[in-house]
Amino acid sequence: MMQRLLLFLLIVCFLSGCGGTVGTKSEVIEIGWLERSVFDKPELHQFKARYDTVVLDRDLVGLIGNVNEGVDFLVFLGTWCGDSRREVPHFLKIADQCGIAPSRVRLHGLDRAKKSEEGLAEQYNIKLVPTFIFLKNGTEVGRITEKPNATLEADMLSILSTAQQK
């Protein structure tokens, strides 16, 4: 009886993600503060593939480059999430093309319940991923949640233009 209970507990632990891996062996869930180098992992190849293939609206990217000063970016994502795999590389490519310093873009990985040990998801009221929060002097001036209303470039430009007027 005790052996069956132990086997059951091991199976539950494996399926619930003990040890940092959930689901299949190739699905990696990264939680907490992340460096961009995390996307170099073979298991997260979708992020690099999307970054390499996304086509930017060059006109809007140029305008974003003119209005992004003084704004920092906090990006909540799920490495397991299709929307994050689509939008986060797009966002990072825009940031790179606009000359936004990597130190101004902070990435925070969440689990499937959209939680992290630091409690930041609760602090910033994160319900969906990805969520891009735009901060000026530490105060939120806008956010894009899950997917843009128009395009990522257009939504970013709108938020950043408004932030510059404050």
Could you tell me if residue 26 is inside a domain? Answer: no
pLDDT for 114 beyond 80: yes
- Position 116 scores a pLDDT of 83
Residue 14 belongs to some domain of the structure: no
Count of domains observed in the chain? 1
> Domain range for residue 40?
32-164
Question: Quick check: 120 pLDDT over 80?
Answer: yes
Tens of pLDDT, residues 144-162: 999 999 999 999 999 999 9
97: in domain: yes
> pLDDT at position 27, please?
77
What mean pLDDT comes out for the span 102-108?
97
Q: What is the pTM of this model?
A: 0.84
CATH no. for residue 54? 3.40.30.10
Residue 53: per-residue pLDDT: 97
- Beta strands at 139-145 and 105-109: parallel, antiparallel or unpaired: unpaired
- In which element (H, E) is residue 11 found? helix 2-16
Query: pLDDT of 28-72, one tens digit each?
Result: 899 999 999 999 999 999 999 999 999 999 999 999 999 999 999
Position 117 confidence tier, pLDDT thresholds 50, 70, 90: confident
Helix (H, G, I), strand (E, B) or coil at 162: helix
Q: What are phi and psi of 137, to 5 degrees?
A: 55, 35
Question: Considering the domain boundaries, does residue 142 fall inside one?
Answer: yes
The reply to whether 73 falls in a domain is yes
For the chain, what percent of residues have pLDDT higher than 70?
A: 84
Asked if pLDDT for residue 165 goes beyond 80, the answer is: yes
CA–CA dist 8, 43 (Å, integer):
28
Answer whether 76's CB lies under 8 Å from 133's CB.
yes
| Distance set, CA 48 to CA 41, 94, 142 (Å) | 9, 14, 26
Q: What is the pLDDT of residue 166?
A: 75
